[in-house]
Amino acid sequence: GLLLGVYRAILWGLLFYPGHPDMQVIMIPHSLTLILEGQAYILVMFAAWLQGRAFLFPQSAGVEGHLRGYVEGLKRTGKIYILVILTLLVAAVYEVIEVIWMAQMMGGA
């Protein structure tokens, strides 16, 4: 999970680089969406780290045995995923508002 998160962060840097001056202006309102989605990915990477740590080192989760560590890791991961869902929900609502606003600014609606 952590390696995939690092890979995705590198891709984001390449994908969202505003190479053209006009893109710089367009990307300003979209920056909040990217920040919120990036935060969700950070939370997911943290959950993956907690899950792996609890499974590999069950004593770090306060339990004995790898199976109990795995279950405890799932419980902790589930709590973090609630935050992930809320973060992505806020990002989605903002993105809808942003798209409507941009369509109105461009005369499309």
Per residue in 1-48, pLDDT tens? 677 777 877 777 666 666 777 777 777 888 888 889 989 989 999 999
Question: What's the average model confidence in pLDDT over 75-85?
Answer: 97
Domain positions in the chain? 2-105
Query: Residues with Cβ < 8 Å from 5, sequence gap 6 or more?
Result: 41, 42, 44, 45, 48
Specify the pTM: 0.78
User: 107, exposed or middle or buried, with CB in 10 Å at 0-12, 13-18, 19+?
Assistant: exposed
pLDDT at 108 over 70: no
